[in-house]
Structure 1
Amino acid sequence: MSTADASGVGAVDGAGSIIVNGLRYETGAADVNIEDTPALQLGMSARVIGPVDTDFTSGIARRIDSAADVRGPLSSINLAQGSFVVLGTTITTDEATVWGDLSGLAALVPSNTVQVWGLPGAPGTLRATRVETRGASTPILTGTVQGLDPVRRTFNLGASAVDYAGATLAGGLDGRPLADGTLVRVRASALLGGRLQATQVQWWYPVPGTDGTQLQLAGIVTNFSALGSLRVLNVPINASSARINGGPSGSVGNGVKVEVAGVMSNGVLQASKLKIRHVPGTGGPVSFALSGTVGNFNSPASFRVRGQPIDASGASVVFVNGTAASLRSGVKVSVEGSQVVNGVLIANRVAFD
């Protein structure tokens, strides 16, 4: 394993240490910075900094950052397209979206406030990785800066105008100024006169572009012209020599959700791995993983691992080295599931250690 820090950006898909984009990080000595929620949970977007192995399967987290990406009232819901709109941004969902305290998209109520973690796609869009309801709260909006006017100190995020005259700017790397195309998270005091009154503009999980830096990213493909020329989270990527799994290479294109890993060279991520996670209209592989000690055991339908509620009562659940009757508080297990509904991970597989 290299001793140099790598950067990983994506959604949390496992705990027992922490798993982001399938890469398991040890977290014992990590500096953890979590905003907008008490604890890190499945589906939350995050950036992890620390050394990783050359195959991007394991690493040691030195720093973990996570914050909500959108918060505001629902203005519309489109069940047929699996999307909803908050603060002028279209938020899409897929099989991997974690529903923290909801049964799914149909349970959303227009005008209610939601808090969303997700992955920015094309300007004005974001793929939700976790959705929760919230009481009325100050707005948060994440997206791509467009129409920047540094004199008037305004720009647009999707269909929302942002006034940042009274805002602090935070999190930029390498002295790069705010510019069109920058991914940012805006925290605002209010929406007044059709404009978000920003109190803070944060660079959204910035990653270094220094030659030799290892990066692993999850996001939605944009600016696709070929495997050798695409972007994920606004990072230019050459995946022409990448090992591709999760689907045929020909399915990679704009709007496809992928995980990609490699090394930066001349401002381009030279990808060694690319995993297809969701192709619009066809879906893709979904998997959440937890390992730890069973707690709060009431029944196979109700117990926790690392604080995450789990239901392992389904008829199709596979048990390894034990049965449902072996479950009890204090037993060490590894749990895999493909869906989180009302905050509960629906288990597909439980292995006893």
Structure 2
Amino acid sequence: MRQLKQHLQWAICATTCALSAAVLVACGGGGSAGSGSTSQTTTSTTPGASIASVDGTITGFGSVIIDGQRFDDSVAKVAFANNADTQTAGTLGDLHTGMHVQGELKDGVLQNLVVNFALVGTVGAVDTTAGTLTVFGQTIKTTTTGQLPTVFDGFSALSQLAVGDLVKVSGTVASDGSITATRIERKAKDGTEVFRLSGAVQAVDTTAKTFTLVGNSSVTVSYADAKLLPTGAVIENGKLVSVVATAAPTTTGGKNVLTASVVEVKARKLADSSDTTVGGPISDFQSLSSLRIGDVVVDASAATLKEGTVAADVVNGAQAQAHGTVKDGAMKADWLRVFKNDTAIKALLVGQVTDYVSLANFTLRGTVVDGSAAKFTKGTAADVAAGAWVQVTGQLTSAGVKATEIAVQPPPADTVQRLSGAISGVDLTAHSLTLLGTTVKWTDTTKLNFNVTNVTALANGLTVTVEGTYSATTGVFTATSINVTSTPGAVKTIGFSGVAFNVTADSLQVGSYTVQLTANTALQPTGTKLADIVNGSRLSIKATVTGTDGNVKLTALTIELQKPEKDASGNDYVYLGGLIGDFVSSASFTVGGQKVDASASTVKFIDGDATKLANGVKVEIKGSVKDGVLVATQVHFMPG
């Protein structure tokens, strides 16, 4: 879909490792490492099907939300392009805010979603004042304001990055060769890195088979032994390329040389379609009939300007979205909108809360939410806890989402569900109580656990697990069983996954959580030492939660270091974390929207067995993606 034009801004699809729908962005806590190049989304040719495409930045989940527009992801297949000519299957839980994605839709439903990195390399310099860093000679620009601030993963501020750190960057490459990042991930080095540079070619030497990239004369690319894609491609000045290498640049003959294994010439174009949506910054603006959004040439001369947009808003650098017909790689737009303060791109997250520390610090669809200043349009702050169904609207930040509105929602209707948490509003006469903002009623046939001899023992503040069914007609959850799990004052334990940073002998950070380490913290797998856990390591943590909302302390009980592993087919294992939903059997359930099959007799269960699988149960799953389904090899039951 890339079309060359030197001195124009152009967008490279961005990605990360980890694509959720569990997160839907676990990830629900999960996420896997994927690295990538750009690959064109294959367009279905099924007769009678309505084919469309979308290109933009992920701004939320609960289905996948791209540039504020929600897309059904119920059958979506996710892929990361590890090299220019190969892709690695991912999960919906690997998707995260800030990723730039290209998707194919059929009859309005996402079929395929491809994510890529614009750049992968090691940090050479950091300028915290300018908000920039340099990677392999290429300048990366960040922003903490505007419609799409840069999302940081594995660090919370540029000052925490160090020279030599490995980063993966999603974003837009400008005509001067710099990248405006929508997402930057810090990763631990493990020897399997695939490096990447992207930009416009200059200073081609066809005899020596070398070139440099616009804005990056400090690194010379050698393509003498590289595979050129597509077949028959020719390296020429001005052409946009993506360079893949298995080793970092080295000094040769007085030059800093990156030896390319693959060079992909960006001759790709969006498939012809009468229903395409593109989003990104405007560049190369000449007039409404000649501009570019992301890397797509757009003619908006006959377009309707939507949501208060006027012609004066259509300027270089403005964040915009357009819809129309694509032919030969260019779009004839039927509508266009520029995002402004009053039509801002809103972050939207819909799903179950997975990791709750406080109202200012909880996780929804793999995204950290600060709801401390949010207005509740339904329910109250007391209803928000692990397992609660909520809808969050807010603004993207470098750390996640700052919520402006929160609506507590009921559980799915007419299916067996499991609710857990502290109860309130206990009315023994009416046989009712409130749990996670939902009215729960019991009957004489409701089963009680052995700690409760009769329902008169139920009292406000007790922590319970309730199983039953919610009726949308009555607005009541009818319990078939009530299990009292703890009493007020008991130490709470939670489990979560993420990328470590600010690692010391006494503590580390994962996302928005600061975790204390003690002599009793168990490191896994066997033989793991604290020295093995470095900035960028992916960890799975169980921790106790003590203190109040204003002063919460997390103390690690166990820390599992997740190292790259491959399945029997040589594919990387992926990890997915979150709450089980849509449970039919061990062979058919979802985690944050991602379909999972854990029915194989060889599946390893940790802290439980297959009989423990049920809606609302928190798990972390390890497995391989086959035809859009995560086939589990390990299921780890996690505390809430």
TM-score (norm 1): 0.82
- Matches of 1:150 and 1:233 in 2, distance apart? 30
State whether structure 2 residue 294 is matched by structure 1 residue 237. Answer: no
* Structure-1 residue corresponding to 2:509: none
| Structure 1 counterpart of 2:359, from 297, 300, 324 | 300
Aligned: 1:188 with 2:245: yes
Pairing 1:302-317 to 2, within 5 Å after superposition: 302-312=361-371, 314=372, 316-317=373-374
Contact 1:15–1:306 (Cα < 8 Å) also in 2 = yes
TM superposition shift of 1:302: 3.1
Q: What are the Cα deviations for residues 16-36 of structure 1, in whole angstroms up to 9, with x where unaligned? A: 221122232222222211257
Rg (Cα) greater in structure: 2
1:326-341 matches, within 5 Å, as: 326-341=383-398
**Deviation, structure 1 residue 202:** 4.0
Aligned to 1:55: none
Q: CA deviation at 1:238?
A: 0.9
Which residue does 2:377 correspond to in 1?
320
Displacement after TM superposition at 1:205 (Å): 10
Structure 2 equivalent of residue 225 of structure 1: 286
Displacement after TM superposition at 1:225 (Å): 1.2
Match of residue 56 from structure 1? none
The one of 26, 29, 41 equivalent to 2:72 is: 26
The count of residues paired between Structure 1 and Structure 2 equals: 337
Range moving further from structure 2, 193-202 or 9-18: 193-202
Q: Unaligned 5+ residue runs, structure 1? A: 53-58
User: Displacement, 1:152?
Assistant: 4.7
Whether contact under 8 Å (1:241, 1:272) holds in the other structure is: yes
Number of the residue aligned with 1:16: 62
Output the CA distance in 1 between the equivalents of 2:183 and 2:380: 31
- What pairs up with 1:208-219 in 2 under 5 angstroms? 208=270, 210=272, 212-219=273-280
The answer for the alignment partner of 2:198 in structure 1 is: 142
Tell me the amino acid that sits aligned with residue 71 of structure 1. Answer: V
Structure 2 CA distance for partners of 1:77 and 1:271, relative to 1, 3 Å: farther
Give the one of 179, 183, 187 matched to 1:130: 183
1:75 correspondence with 2:128:
no
Identity of matched residues, %: 28
Structure 1 residue 123, shift from structure 2 partner = 4.2
Asked if 1:252 corresponds to 2:335, the answer is no
Give the one of 37, 46, 58 matched to 2:101.
Answer: 46
Q: RMSD of the TM alignment (CA)?
A: 3.2
Distance (Å, rounded) in 2 between the aligned partners of 1:41 and 1:250 = 33
Q: Take 2:62 and 2:205, find their aligned partners in 1: how far apart are those partners?
A: 45
Question: How far apart are 1:325 and its partner, in Å?
Answer: 0.9
Structure 1 counterpart SS, 2:312? helix
Match of 2:213 in 1: 157
Give the match's secondary structure for 2:261: strand
SS in 2 for 1:325: helix
Q: Which of 156, 166, 169 lines up with 2:225 in the alignment?
A: 166
CA distance 1:153–1:13, shift in 2 (3 Å):
farther
The offset of 1:177, in angstroms, is: 6.2
1:349 aligns with 2:409: no
Other structure's SS at 2:382 match: helix
Summarize the Cα distance change of 1:217–1:153 in structure 2 as closer, same or farther, 3 Å threshold: farther
For 1:155 and 1:350, the matched residues in 2 are separated by: 52
SS of the counterpart of 1:62? strand
Counterparts of 2:369 and 2:125 in 1: how far apart (Å)? 31
* 1:34/1:40 contact within 8 Å kept: no
8 Å Cα contact 2:126/2:134 also seen in 1: yes
Given that residues 376 and 405 in structure 2 are in contact (C-alpha distance below 8 angstroms), is that contact kept between their aligned partners in structure 1? Answer: yes
Task: Write the distance in 2 (CA, Å) between the matches of 1:227 and 1:176.
Answer: 33
